[in-house]
Amino acid sequence: MQFTVAIDGPAAAGKGTIAKAVAAHFGFAYLDTGLLYRATARKVLDGMDPVAAAKALLPQDFERAGLRTAKVGQAASKIAALPKVRAALVGFQQQFARRDGGAVLDGRDIGTVICPGAEVKLFVTASDEVRAHRRWLELSAGNEAVSEADVLAQLRERDARDRERATAPLKPADDALLLDTSGMSIDEAVAQAVALIAARMG
């Protein structure tokens, strides 16, 4: 059975957590597409050309330390705006999406560019302040010294870059189901996502 769930949304809206839980619930394979860009960014920060880095990704690159830092996240957002980098990573994502047994992919352009024919598309969002607080807690837990105000400013800067880029900008697909997690616990958000997907599966 081929069944693709595309989950998009801005940083710290909860899409990764929801996507993992949905994949586990339905027994689908899961791909965090943002990790492709973070792993590429890590290579770029080490001195590689962005396109060469994207083409040279290996499984072990996804296990490298520091991929979730704010520095790598900002670098990933910048290289994700490069059309040749995106093109280098599209095929991998599309093959993963149509594997037998079902797949869940989360990112920023899954429902609009990577998998426009996905059986279910969710756009997960939350207010800027809620997202910034979540990301600040995450970074603080990783011992990154950063103020919540700085996190909010960085998040808004990244949102603008992701929404305004010429190639595959961040936006909901026309047929995406909107899931605002601002006032939800993780369990509530996951339950809502599972219910929406189950309804589409019939």
Mean pLDDT of 121-128: 98
CA distance to 10, 37, 49, 78, per residue, from 55 (Å): 25, 11, 10, 17
Is 16 a known ligand-binding residue?
yes
Neighbours of 131 (CB within 10 A): 24
Is 202 a known ligand-binding residue?
no
Is 11 a known ligand-binding residue?
yes
Domain ranges of the chain: 4-201
At 168, the pLDDT band (50, 70, 90 cuts) reads confident
List phi, psi (to 5°) of 54.
-65, -40
Tokens 């979730």, located at residue: 68
- Among 22-36, 57-71, 125-139, 181-195, which stretch is predicted with the lowest mean pLDDT? 57-71
At 141, the pLDDT band (50, 70, 90 cuts) reads confident
Is 9 a known ligand-binding residue?
yes
Q: Is the pLDDT of residue 139 over 90?
A: no
At 153, the pLDDT band (50, 70, 90 cuts) reads very high
Q: Is the pLDDT of residue 144 over 80?
A: no
Is 13 a known ligand-binding residue?
yes
pTM of the model: 0.86
Mean pLDDT of 137-158: 89
Mean residue pLDDT across the chain: 93
Tell me the torsion sign for CA atoms 111, 199, 100, 24: positive
Is 116 a known ligand-binding residue?
no
CA 69 to chain CA centroid, Å, is 15
Mean pLDDT of 49-67: 92
Q: Is the pLDDT of residue 143 over 80?
A: no
CATH assignment, 4-201: 3.40.50.300
What local confidence, expressed as pLDDT, does residue 9 receive? 96
| Higher per-residue pLDDT: 139 or 98 | 98
Is 27 a known ligand-binding residue?
no
Distance CA 37, CA 62 (A): 10
At 182, the pLDDT band (50, 70, 90 cuts) reads very high
Is 12 a known ligand-binding residue?
yes
Q: Is the pLDDT of residue 70 over 90?
A: no
